[in-house]
Chains A and B, each alone.
Chain A
Amino acid sequence: GAVVSQHPSWVICKSGTSVKIECRSLDFQATTMFWYRQFPKQSLMLMATSNEGSKATYEQGVEKDKFLINHASLTLSTLTVTSAHPEDSSFYICSAEGTQSGEKLFFGSGTQLSVL
């Protein structure tokens, strides 16, 4: 299957700082990328959908000013958690879809964010 690279794998930061997570499609052009959040022993909750070159569409309850998403190229999307607080600690996962992947969505390896 297609490869989606996500990093960092884990990050620890102080409360009030910002953290950037990168998601790259390595062998296909990702026309659409999705960002999910997952709490321990729970399912994946969609945060936002981003199409290359367009503003992201956020799910209800997700603060767009806190979770900044940029999808500037067909191979890269970034999620920046601004002014992180302990309640933002979670596992963040990106997924990507492209014309070459058909309908299949491939996921990155996830980023564990811990805010102290």
Chain B
Amino acid sequence: GENVEQHPSTLSVQEGDSAVIKCTYSDSASNYFPWYKQELGKGPQLIIDIRSNVGEKKDQRIAVTLNKTAKHFSLHITETQPEDSAVYFCAARNQAGTALIFGKGTTLSVSS
């Protein structure tokens, strides 16, 4: 089955800096890679996703890159703000109707 590795487990940056979180996956058949932000005591919120036929996707300060050959994808947050502080999860799956497999999460702390 699919296995998703995520690192770093914790990341501390200064406000305005960029943050990068990386994930690798094992199943070459995986073709959908979302990223979720989870705040304490709340459910995960989808922030961006990418499909395997695309190498990069950007939405304002957030971008995701995908390298299918190497089986890794990354989340990039630019101009970080304190409200970006949360736990971020990457995930992968190979077809609609199947469950997402999650990485272990990255706790991002943005200090002002």
Q: Which residues of A contact B (CB under 8 A)?
A: 1, 4, 6, 31-32, 34, 42-44, 46, 49, 51, 91, 93, 95, 97, 103-110, 112
Contact = CB atoms under 8 A, between A and B. Distances in A.
Contacts of B34: 104-105
Interface residues of B, number: 22
Nearest to B100: A105
B70 interface: no
A107 B44 contact: yes
* Chain B interface SS verdict (over half): loop
Given A34-B99, A93-B43, A110-B42, 6 more contacts: A1-B46, A31-B97, A42-B105, A91-B41, A105-B100, A107-B43
24 contacts: A1-B46, A4-B43, A6-B43, A32-B97, A34-B99, A34-B100, A42-B104, A42-B105, A43-B89, A43-B102, A91-B41, A97-B97, A103-B49, A104-B34, A104-B46, A105-B34, A105-B46, A105-B100, A107-B43, A107-B44, A107-B45, A109-B43, A110-B41, A110-B42
B41 A106 contact: no
Given A43-B89, A93-B43, A107 B36 contact: yes
Question: What is the interface of chain A mostly: helix, strand, loop, or mixed?
Answer: strand
Nearest to B49: A104
B51 interface: yes
A46 B99 contact: yes
Given A97-B97, A104-B49, A112 B103 contact: no
Contact of A108 (B32, B43, B98): B43
A103 B89 contact: no
B104 A103 contact: no
